Amino acid sequence: MIIGSFVESMREQNWSSAVLEVLVVVVGIFLGLQVDAWNQARKDRVAEAAYLERLHADTTFNLAQVKVKAQSYHDRASSLARIVEKLKAEEVNEIEIYDLTDAFCYWYVPEAVRLQSSTYDEMTSTGDLELIRDSSILQNLQLALAENDRSKEENPKLAAVQMDLAKSFRKFTEWRFDAPIQRIDTDTGDVPMRAGCVVDRAALAADPDISSILVQLNRSQTILGNQLLGEQRALDELLFVLEPKVTR
């Protein structure tokens, strides 16, 4: 209808009417584009908010996992250090059973914490990463993932060293059904573990090399724990910048 009126105005050389009709068309197109842009922006903000909620949940979960694992490495390093102190003081019988089993009956195969990254993977595969407007979130997200990659890269090197050192523990340990039960999960329905590991204290006291091996393992366990502390700091920073963006 507008086009027909425009053609008629041109035939009659009614220039003012023709210009007005052109302006109406241009304004209509402009307003239509603006409405589309506004709708898309609104959808993007809704999608961004959903992604931020999911990133916050992933980061909270990852941080808890990293804290637990870092603490376990440092606790084992402390057990190794206490055993060395008792051996030097010739107090092998005073070593706590918990420390003995934790040090000698543990498989020294470090496992990097696998971060929950499904949200990040989805955003990168769909191109939605650009929906996150806060650059500090993106920077801290990349840093956390980089720290996790660094740990996974270093772990095999430490694993090889630890496994080689721990081979000598076999002559001090024996797995038996009548071993003391040190750690039992008391949750309802769990079945207590009957088999356990017994450590020969007399053989420990007579071995001149065992303290050196324990010190080296203490060092590697501390390194593993410290690597995870780096991840923990990165995740703490990520959670800090995510918190204000998440609605409760």
pTM (two decimals): 0.76
Kindly give, in sequence order, each residue whose CB lies less than 8 Å from that of residue 165, ignoring residues fewer than 6 positions away.
108, 213, 216, 217, 220
Phi-psi region at 189: left, alpha or beta (left = phi > 0; alpha = psi -120 to 50): left
pLDDT at 159: 85
pLDDT at 11: 52
The 8-class DSSP code of residue 13 comes to T
Rounded distance between C-alpha atoms, residue 20 and residue 223, angstroms: 76
Instruction: Indicate the domain borders of the chain.
Output: 2-245
pLDDT at 178: 74
pLDDT at 38: 74
Which structure tokens are listed for 79?
């057990």
Query: DSSP strand E in the chain: where?
Result: 173-176, 196-199
pLDDT along the chain (248 residues), means of 10: 50 56 65 66 85 94 93 93 95 92 85 84 91 92 90 85 89 82 55 77 94 95 92 94 82
CB-based burial label for 233 (10 Å; 0-12, 13-18, 19+):
middle
Rounded distance between C-alpha atoms, residue 44 and residue 56, angstroms: 18
Rounded distance between C-alpha atoms, residue 82 and residue 80, angstroms: 6
Residue 219 carries which side chain, given as an amino acid letter? R
Look-up of token digits 């024996």: 174
pLDDT at 69: 92
Rounded distance between C-alpha atoms, residue 59 and residue 189, angstroms: 31
